[in-house]
Structure 1
Amino acid sequence: MATEASPAAPAAAVPDPTETLARVVESTAHLLATAEQFDDAAVREPSLLPGWSRGHVLTHLARNADALVRLMTWAATGTVTPMYTSPEAREDEIEAGVGRSAEQLLTDLRESCERFAVQAARLGPDQWSVPIEGRRGGPQPAAWVLWWRLEEVLVHHVDLDAAYSPAHWPSTFTEPELAMVAARFNNPVFTEDSPAFRLHAEDGDADAWYGVHCDPQDTTAPLVRGPSAALIAWLIGRSNGDGLNVEPHGALPKPPEWK
């Protein structure tokens, strides 16, 4: 089952709100174009997430937009407004929406995405710096809400299994996202322990090396290389690691669970 991306580790640079919102809007347009192709039979077909249909994924994306609107309302008003009243309420909202028609699912998604964009456009620089709390990780500047939405849209677009793959993720997303995923995996707040390994994206900054439970320069830990999108897809459970290489040669290490 899908889980929303965990907030980024505190060491990561806070995203620029204007730039990140533009990326959210662009990625959302691509997502909606895919969703428009589904008929009633297609939304009941399995997604790439175990136990979830495409209807589950579309409903989750709509409810996530609304949940993040609540966090932006928190930033705008100063009134604590959690994403969800409880984990059970979150699951119930998703299950309640999966039986709808393709048209109803699309309308819901389109309208929730619009609510998100409208609320995001209302916030100013001071409000983006207000501490809010997502589902994990403690207080963080509200500007992270935009990156969390970008993750949701891009990753779950892949989960719809409709000719959109991690290879379609833009480099403006994959390069910072790889660093953020590695940082999360080193933070026990987000994930459990795993074997130590290092990461290097062959299409990214040649000097950017990342360590999971080890120093990036610790040559005793295996090194996993490949395109940044392929590395992220493997790390977050969206691929089995095809296209990646391990040095010294051997099986890919098991990454921490993506929560």
Structure 2
Amino acid sequence: MTQITPGALPAELHKAAGTVTRLLAKLDDASVAGPSQLPGWTRGHVLAHITGIANAMARQLDYARRGEKIELYDGGMDGRNKAIELAAGHSVAQHTESVTKAVESAVASFDALEPDDWQAPITYRDGTVLDGGLALWSELTIHASDLGLGFGPETWSRPFCEHLIGFLAARVPGEYKLVLQPTGLPQMSIGSGSTSIAITGMLTDIAAWLAGREPSLGSLRATAAADGVELPELLPWPAAQPATR
């Protein structure tokens, strides 16, 4: 599977940020208040979350440069959730200003990194600055799709899908090994259990399913010992601060 390097990640962050910016231009006050692809969340909730996670990642980098660490969100997950609820009902103009400012600041923070900075420790998942950059890439890309504005998982790039599959391998229950067979691409395996299940379909659909989103290009087929089976239930997103809702 593709491994995104620190040298390549800033360009991917710019692409993801550009997508969010283009989608903001499609919104008005009525559509911001409409439902997103996430149950119980309006598009305003999604935009408030994008603002929050972008600001949080920029803060992680600010502290990492000083050799310090700080929690991802002010007030932890309670603080995160309260901030989303408070901002969800903002107007499209308010969301456009806050999202644009936060995303541009976060991307600029990653642009300014020196080669050695990428391995500096941060609080997010007890990881490194690189982990934070990969998380922001995922947040921007997945939540752009959650807005339900014509940028669904079918638009996700192969490098992004392969990164997401590797990260979400932790969702595979211990008893399973999933043999992923993306159409027209080499197969890959995640999980190390004794029960092998083959998952066949488009790469973007496989990635969407692992991310808890609906496949958009077709249906996935699961087989075990040549017999059709149901897609297995997946574990929650990897522990610590959730990468996405």
Q: 2:228 aligns with which of 235, 249, 258?
A: 249
CA distance in 1 between counterparts of 2:31 and 2:206 reads 29
* Residue 82 of structure 1, CA deviation: 1.9
CA 79–14 in structure 1, closer or farther in 2 if over 3 Å, else same? farther
| 8 A contact 1:14–1:143 mirrored in 2 | no
Q: 2:176 aligns with which of 196, 208, 218?
A: 196
* Residue 145 of structure 1, CA deviation: 1.4
* 2:181 counterpart of 1:181: no
Q: 1:94 aligns with which of 74, 84, 87?
A: 84
CA distance in 2 between counterparts of 1:157 and 1:194 reads 31
* Residue 249 of structure 1, CA deviation: 0.8
Alignment-mate amino acid for residue 235 of structure 2: P
CA 173–80 in structure 1, closer or farther in 2 if over 3 Å, else same? same
The correspondence of residues 80-229 of structure 1 with structure 2, limited to 5 A, is 80-85=69-74, 86-134=76-124, 136=125, 138=126, 140-182=127-169, 184-185=170-171, 193=173, 196-203=176-183, 206=186, 208-214=187-193, 220-229=195-204
Question: Identity, % of aligned pairs?
Answer: 25
CA distance in 2 between counterparts of 1:195 and 1:105 reads 44
CA distance in 1 between counterparts of 2:3 and 2:120 reads 12
CA distance in 2 between counterparts of 1:254 and 1:20 reads 31
Task: Give the structure 2 partner of residue 33 of structure 1.
Answer: 22
Alignment-mate amino acid for residue 163 of structure 2: P
* Residue 195 of structure 1, CA deviation: 5.4
CA distance in 1 between counterparts of 2:62 and 2:179 reads 37
State the Cα RMSD in Å. 2.2
* Residue 90 of structure 1, CA deviation: 0.7
Task: Give the structure 2 partner of residue 53 of structure 1.
Answer: 42
Alignment-mate amino acid for residue 30 of structure 1: T
Q: TM-score, normalization: structure 1? A: 0.83
CA distance in 1 between counterparts of 2:209 and 2:174 reads 14
The correspondence of residues 59-78 of structure 1 with structure 2, limited to 5 A, is 59-78=48-67
Alignment-mate amino acid for residue 91 of structure 1: N
| 8 A contact 1:130–1:141 mirrored in 2 | yes
Superimposed CA distance per residue, residues 5-24 of structure 1 (whole angstroms, 9 cap, x where no aligned partner): xxxxxxx9974223111111
Task: Give the structure 2 partner of residue 5 of structure 1.
Answer: none
Residue correspondences, number: 233
